[in-house]
Amino acid sequence: MKKGTEFEDYIHFVYSTLLNLRGEKIRVSKRTTFQVPPDESYEIDIFYEFENVGVKHRVAIECKDWKNPVDQGRVLEFHQKIKNIGEDIVGVFVSRTGYQSGAIKVAKRHGILTLTADDVPTIFDVLSRHITTSFIPEDHCTGEPFWYIAELKEPNGQPTGTLYAFPKGSPIDLPLFISKKHAEAVHRSLPDNQYFKVYGLAQHKLRGLLAFSIAQKKTFAIVVDYPTDSGDLKTVPLTAKEVKDQYLLLDYPKELEKEWV
Phi then psi for residue 157, to 5 deg, are -100, -155
- Structural domain ending residue among the three candidates 78, 100, 126: 126
Do 148 and 249 fall into the same domain?
A: yes
Q: Which one-letter DSSP state was computed for residue 117? A: G
- What's CA 155's distance to the chain center, in Å? 28
Residues 121 and 160 in one domain: no
Burial degree of 112 (CB within 10 A; 0-12, 13-18, 19+): buried
**What are the pLDDT tens digits along the chain (261 aa)?**
445 588 899 898 888 888 877 777 788 899 999 988 878 899 999 999 887 656 778 899 999 999 899 999 999 999 999 999 887 888 999 998 999 999 999 999 999 999 998 888 887 777 777 778 888 899 999 999 999 999 999 998 999 988 898 877 777 888 999 999 999 999 999 999 999 999 999 998 998 888 778 667 788 999 988 776 666 788 899 988 899 999 998 776 554 444 443
54 sits in the region (left: phi over 0; alpha: psi -120 to 50; else beta) called left
- 192 & 102 share domain: no
Model pLDDT for residues 24-53, shown as the tens digit of each residue: 778 889 999 998 887 889 999 999 988 765
Considering the domain architecture, whether residues 183 and 240 belong to the same structural domain is answered as yes
CA distance 249 to 238: 17
203-226 pLDDT per residue, tens: 989 988 887 786 677 889 999 887
- Please give the model's pTM, rounded to 2 decimal places: 0.66
Same domain, 154 and 246: yes
86 and 152 co-located in one domain: no
End of a domain among 105, 126, 147? 126
d(CA 141, CA 243): 19
Q: Work out how many domains the chain is built from and give that number.
A: 2
Residue 11 phi/psi, 5-degree rounding, is: -60, -40
What is the per-residue DSSP string for 214-251?
Answer: HHHT-EEEEEEESS-TTSS-EEEEEEHHHHHHHH--SP
* 113 and 192 both lie in a single domain: no
Domain hosting 56: range is 5-126
